[in-house]
Amino acid sequence: MPELVVTALLAPSRLTLKLLRAFMWSLVFSAALVAAAVYGCIALTHVLCRPRRGCCGRPRRTPPACLSDPTLGEHCFLTLKSSGLRLHYVSAGCGNGPLMLFLHGFPENWFSWRYQLWEFQSRFHVVAVDLRGYGSSDAPKDVDCYTIDLLMTDIQDVILGLGYPKCILVSHDWGALLAWNFSIYYPSLVERMVVVSAAPMSVYQDYSLRHIGQFFRSNYVFLFQLPWLPEKLLSMSDFQILKTTLTHRKRGIPHLTPNELEAFLYDFSQPGCLTGPLNYYRNIFRNFPLEPQELAMPTLLLWGEKDPYFELGLVEAISSRFVPGRLETHILPGVGHWIPQSNPKEMHQYMWAFLQDLLD
């Protein structure tokens, strides 16, 4: 068929897709402006209630002692083959078994996996990374440096750079969004997957379009589409919005100590260190609309019944995409979003059972 005819036949579909994307972006930025007004009022309230803190965040000069706890492992750096970037990671149990690689979420870092590093280093080589843009890892400023494809390549380079052919991939929140994609496009590098509190992007997209409540739960995603303003709002009143996110009585991490809170704020308080993590969100709509994908990786999915950010209905939506027999799901009653830190004992129990046949 002549190329001109093919082009003519595809023209209506291409035009429809362009119009759909234009409409989507108009909705996204409209929602971003509304979210900016709401979060701007919240940030201003924090400043007025705590005027001594001022409008800017206070850079922490000294990291809290818990970040250098030797029982958690050794601090190392790995230069990635594909990008040349250096990623920071904490490693323990080298030589004790298969590689167990941990991917954190936002607003966190490698320290969010402290309980799992203690628990599994006796039978696995446990490695918790600071993802690109976080903590002591390199943080390019350009938004285009944080596409899903580049972030997946980082994970590939970490696994192979550590000398392993595959890993057990354990992930939470943003780390889990990456892990879902990674298991689809790099299945040979993943032996098993443990996912906590996050859905694949295509599932999240389709579910959100049918359940408006999920859009309201994810309102911060729209705020983060804007340049520079989210960084300013998050840092106001000495990072009070981040503090509230992590310590809120109902939505935060239960029993988080002041030192542990500082373990997260230390990195974010350094000049420019919020931009890299927020650039993840600025790429989240880049590939809209996403095609449905079949999921086949043997996966343990843990979900909090009271997760304030993701509706419980997403669990069923995830299950509907899986090859039968490949997904094991546990919903933790009365539990929120931060399962690796709030409910480590239950998480460890499910993980040991899920991985037992690999250790026998």
Q: Catalytic residue positions? A: 173, 281, 337
Q: Give the chain's count of helices (H) and strands (E).
A: 13, 8
CB 224 within 8 A of CB 28: no
CB 222 within 8 A of CB 35: yes
Starting from the edge strand earliest in sequence, which strands make up the sheet with 125-129, in order? 74-79, 86-92, 125-129, 99-103, 167-172, 190-196, 299-304, 327-332
**227: number of CA atoms within 13 Å, CB side?**
3
Which stretches does DSSP call E strand in the chain?
74-79, 86-92, 99-103, 125-129, 167-172, 190-196, 299-304, 327-332
| Two structure tokens written together for 200 | 């694949």
Number of Cβ atoms within 10 Å of the Cβ of 254 = 14
**Cα dihedral 281→283→84→267 (10° resolution):** -10
CB 174 within 8 A of CB 309: no
Rounded Cα distance, 19 and 8, in Å: 17
Rounded Cα distance, 215 and 206, in Å: 12
| Two structure tokens written together for 269 | 């308080």
Distance in Å from the first CA to the final CA of the chain: 58
Q: Which SS3 state, helix, strand or coil, does residue 102 take?
A: strand
